[in-house]
């Protein structure tokens, strides 16, 4: 695709004033779309393959509006102007979402989520979208592979994320939707490694028919492989750090940790303070080393129920470097167990 040329051999579009070109670019925006790190939409072959699907830090990336790749491939000047316009549109105070007439159940992202039996997650993520670029992270969640369920390693960004860096690298507002497993919520993933010497049975030579083996008691000792016995880094902080290393201009970050109502009720978490196991992450920086440019960080813990009807409730929210207000909170009625407070971000 090439830009049309006028009689003098110059591009007609690029010869227009920049303000007029930006107005034209606004009509070229395509509807919102969710990109996934998966690539195969078929559901009947996923568990028949002898190869496990690759897993990445990011599971899904939501763009409220997007530009056609054909426009970005026309020429360097048009590509740069379109990326700048798109980033300016997403960074605006009230970004406009280009709605898609396609039903959510018919979208490719929903089919790919149904492939892994996570379509309820994808539905709840759409319910909480508010016009901000959203990246979905999964922390210590089990994944069904060819040999059963396991916790996959998610330490590198997906190819989709890397391909969007020319755009995402200009974004100043970002939202992370987090789905975490029980080990993260309970805090087991950050505790020091403790080894236990199991009971051993002495096996002396038998001299009498009624002689029994002598059993030694179990001995609990610290693992010598970790000299300081320091707590392990929080997996969510590591994942956010991995993503923010590629996003140098993000100034406002919103982290929504979603928990299904059944897990909220059935998991063995403290009755009064469900977030007791993750207090260290709530009281510390949102990431390990990246994110020094952040000016405001919002964190919310939300319990969700797919329904129908779809219901969600925030049971903890905090605002760092701010007045604690939540302008984009779509919950009209807060539950009685909601706690709100604000504090400054601790230096990295």
Rounded mean pLDDT of 95-124? 67
Lowest mean per-residue pLDDT among 121-130, 156-165, 201-210: 201-210
Give domain status of residue 218, yes or no: no
* pLDDT above 80 (res 3): no
> For residues 314 and 34, what is the distance between their CA atoms, to the nearest angstrom?
24
**What is the SS3 assignment for 149?**
strand
Range among 228-232, 270-274, 326-330 with highest mean pLDDT value: 270-274
**The two structure tokens encoding residue 208:** 């009498």
The pLDDT tens digits for 245-301 are 999 999 999 999 999 989 998 998 888 788 888 988 988 888 887 777 888 898 999
Q: Of 167, 178, 143, nearest to 58 (Cα)?
A: 178
Q: Of 296, 304, 309, 299, nearest to 335 (Cα)?
A: 304
Strands (E), 10-77: 33-36, 58-63
The pLDDT tens digits for 77-90 are 888 998 999 999 89
Give domain status of residue 200, yes or no: no
> For residues 251 and 171, what is the distance between their CA atoms, to the nearest angstrom?
9
Give domain status of residue 314, yes or no: yes
Q: Which domain range does residue 97 map to? A: 18-188+225-343
CA distances for 322 relative to 6, 95, 133, 319, angstroms: 52, 21, 21, 6
Which residues lie below 8 Å from residue 31, measured CB to CB, with a gap of 6+?
65, 66, 98, 99, 100, 101, 102
Maximum alpha-carbon separation in the chain: 111
Give domain status of residue 1, yes or no: no
Q: How many beta carbons lie within 10 A of that of residue 202, not counting itself?
A: 8
Q: Which pLDDT band, with edges at 50, 70 and 90, does 168 fall under? A: very high
Half-sphere exposure of 137 (CA within 13 A, CB side): 28
**The two structure tokens encoding residue 52:** 């496990």
Do 295 and 320 form a contact (C-beta atoms < 8 A)?
Answer: no
Rounded mean pLDDT of 120-134? 85
The pLDDT tens digits for 174-219 are 999 999 999 999 987 777 655 555 555 555 555 566 655 555 555 5
Give domain status of residue 99, yes or no: yes
Mean pLDDT of the chain: 76
Give domain status of residue 203, yes or no: no
Residue 256 pairs in a beta bridge with 177, 300
Q: For the chain, how many structural domains are there in total? A: 1
Pick 294 or 332 by higher pLDDT: 294
Q: Which pLDDT band, with edges at 50, 70 and 90, does 342 fall under? A: very low
**The two structure tokens encoding residue 1:** 């695709």
Give domain status of residue 9, yes or no: no
* pLDDT above 60 (res 162): yes
Q: Which pLDDT band, with edges at 50, 70 and 90, does 242 fall under? A: very high
* pLDDT above 90 (res 343): no
The pLDDT tens digits for 26-41 are 888 888 888 888 655 4
Give domain status of residue 150, yes or no: yes
Q: Which pLDDT band, with edges at 50, 70 and 90, does 43 fall under? A: very low
**Is the bond preceding residue 201 a cis peptide, omega within 30 degrees?**
no
Q: How many beta carbons lie within 10 A of that of residue 42, not counting itself?
A: 10
pTM here? Answer: 0.76
Q: How many beta carbons lie within 10 A of that of residue 256, not counting itself?
A: 20
């Amino acid at each position: 695709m090439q830009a049309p040329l006028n009689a003098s051999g110059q591009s007609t579009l690029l010869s227009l004033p920049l303000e007029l070109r930006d107005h034209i670019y606004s009509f070229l925006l395509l509807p919102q779309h969710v990109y996934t790190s998966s690539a195969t939409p078929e559901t009947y072959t996923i568990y028949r393959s002898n190869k496990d699907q690759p897993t990445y830090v990011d599971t899904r990336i939501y763009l409220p509006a997007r530009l056609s790749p054909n426009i970005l491939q026309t020429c360097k000047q048009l590509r740069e102007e379109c990326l700048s316009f798109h980033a300016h549109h997403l960074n605006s105070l009230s970004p406009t979402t280009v709605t898609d007439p396609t039903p959510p159940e018919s979208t490719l992202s929903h089919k790919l989520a149904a492939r892994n039996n996570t379509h309820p997650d994808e539905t709840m993520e759409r319910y909480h979208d508010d016009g901000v670029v959203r990246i979905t992270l999964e922390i210590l969640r089990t994944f069904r592979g060819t040999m059963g369920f396991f916790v996959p390693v998610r330490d590198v960004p997906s190819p989709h994320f890397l391909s969007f860096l020319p755009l995402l690298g200009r974004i100043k507002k970002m939202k992370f939707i987090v789905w975490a497993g029980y080990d993260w919520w309970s805090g087991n993933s950050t505790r020091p490694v403790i080894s236990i010497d199991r009971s051993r049975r002495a096996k002396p030579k038998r001299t009498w028919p009624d002689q029994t083996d002598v059993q030694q008691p179990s001995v609990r000792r610290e693992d010598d492989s970790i000299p300081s016995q320091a707590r392990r880094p929080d997996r969510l902080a590591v994942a956010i750090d991995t993503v923010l290393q590629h996003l140098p201009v993000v100034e406002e970050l919103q982290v929504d940790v979603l928990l299904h109502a059944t897990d909220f009720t059935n998991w063995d978490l403290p009755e009064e303070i469900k977030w007791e196991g993750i207090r260290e992450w709530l009281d510390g920086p949102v990431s390990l080393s990246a994110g020094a440019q952040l000016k405001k960080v919002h964190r919310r813990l939300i319990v969700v129920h797919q329904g129908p009807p779809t219901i969600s409730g925030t049971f903890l929210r905090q605002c760092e470097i701010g007045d604690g207000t939540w302008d984009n909170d779509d919950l009209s009625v807060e539950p009685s167990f909601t706690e709100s407070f604000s504090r400054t971000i601790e230096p990295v």
